[in-house]
Amino acid sequence: MKSLFGGLVCCFSVLTWEVHGTYKAKDFTPQSDLPESYATNRLNARSRAPERACKSRPLDLVFIIDSSRSVRPGEFEKVKIFLGDMVDTLDVGPAATRVAVVNYASTVKIEFLLKTHLNKADMKQALMRIQPLATGTMTGLAIRTALEKAFTEQSGARPPSQNIGKVAIIVTDGRPQDQVEEVSATARASGIEIYAVGVDRADIQSLQLMASNPLNAHVFYVETYGVIEKLTSKFRETLCEVKALVTVDPCKCEARLAFQKQTQESFLALTRTAGGRM
């Protein structure tokens, strides 16, 4: 019975990992600007009592974050908390996942490269120091900068021979003021997997032009920055090695088949018994 129950749990896990889609969350708390220290306090709290990190497959991961004038200071603090929570879930290190951050508005600033911080503590301190640029929304320029300057071996990306996945996660709340389709296609063709996260006023069509296929697994939307942290668990599913292991070596659901067979046999036995009584 114990093995049967364990098998059913395994089957349920397989079905759960395969669920993908646009993530939409609703914020039930009033939105208000938060003091500049909010992200620092939250990230410090996480440093004292971090969540157990998943064993993520090694990645060269670049966050591309919108800090244009439409992103209020308190909202940008929540983006930094989201980045800190993401770092907490990853297996960060020279031979594991490396992280870079590209900050953009009308201009683009590489906050740190893949080779800059190779441990979580230094990385989260660097996240606390990021400031919004507070101008336009040149998303295409930001993607091009990431492609040409952040995903290079000189900046810390691993060579193709190591077969390390390259992932970009774009977070934006607006419509790009430049073209994103061509540069995104170029980035994807170079082997970069792109996830597009839209918040509030984000243009869904632009998100779809940027993201990798299938779109329902690479485009996410939340209604406010107040709930963007909830996407951490979704990316945990996507980036963690657990998912890859389940996909490669599923439980094959022997327990479910055994349960169905046992149920059918019991039903037939009851049917025969009832027929005999008649």
Question: What does the pLDDT read at residue 171?
Answer: 98
Question: What does the pLDDT read at residue 243?
Answer: 41
**Residues in the chain where the model's pLDDT stays below 50:** 2-5, 8-38, 43, 45, 47-51, 242-254
Question: What does the pLDDT read at residue 249?
Answer: 38
Residue 235 contacts residue 212 (beta carbons within 8 Å): no
**141-163, pLDDT tens digit by residue?**
999 999 999 999 999 999 999 99
Q: Supply the pTM of this predicted model.
A: 0.71
In a domain, residue 199? The reply is yes
Question: What does the pLDDT read at residue 229?
Answer: 87
Question: What does the pLDDT read at residue 49?
Answer: 41
Question: What does the pLDDT read at residue 268?
Answer: 58
Count how many domains the chain has.
Answer: 1
∠ CA 151-156-158, rounded to 5°: 75
In a domain, residue 74? The reply is yes
CATH number assigned to the domain comprising residue 195: 3.40.50.410
Question: What does the pLDDT read at residue 256?
Answer: 52
Question: What does the pLDDT read at residue 93?
Answer: 95
With 0-12 / 13-18 / 19 or more C-beta atoms within 10 angstroms meaning exposed / middle / buried, residue 265 is: exposed
CA distance linking residue 208 with residue 41, whole number of Å: 34
Question: What does the pLDDT read at residue 274?
Answer: 53
In a domain, residue 173? The reply is yes
In a domain, residue 29? The reply is no
∠ CA 132-137-141, rounded to 5°: 105
273: left (phi over 0), alpha (psi -120 to 50) or beta: alpha
Q: What is the DSSP letter of 151?
A: S
Query: Of 87, 80, 17, 82, which is closest to residue 59 (Cα–Cα)?
Result: 87
**83-113, pLDDT tens digit by residue?**
999 999 999 999 999 999 999 999 999 999 9
In a domain, residue 36? The reply is no
CA distance linking residue 183 with residue 205, whole number of Å: 15
Q: Which residues contact 5 (CB under 8 A, 6 or more apart)?
A: 255
199: left (phi over 0), alpha (psi -120 to 50) or beta: beta
Q: How many CB atoms within 10 Å of residue 17?
A: 18
In a domain, residue 254? The reply is no
Q: In which domain, by residue range, is 144 found?
A: 59-241
In a domain, residue 249? The reply is no
In a domain, residue 270? The reply is no
Q: Which residues contact 138 (CB under 8 A, 6 or more apart)?
A: 104, 105, 106, 107, 108, 176, 177, 178
Rg for the chain, CA atoms, rounded? 23
138: left (phi over 0), alpha (psi -120 to 50) or beta: beta
With 0-12 / 13-18 / 19 or more C-beta atoms within 10 angstroms meaning exposed / middle / buried, residue 1 is: exposed
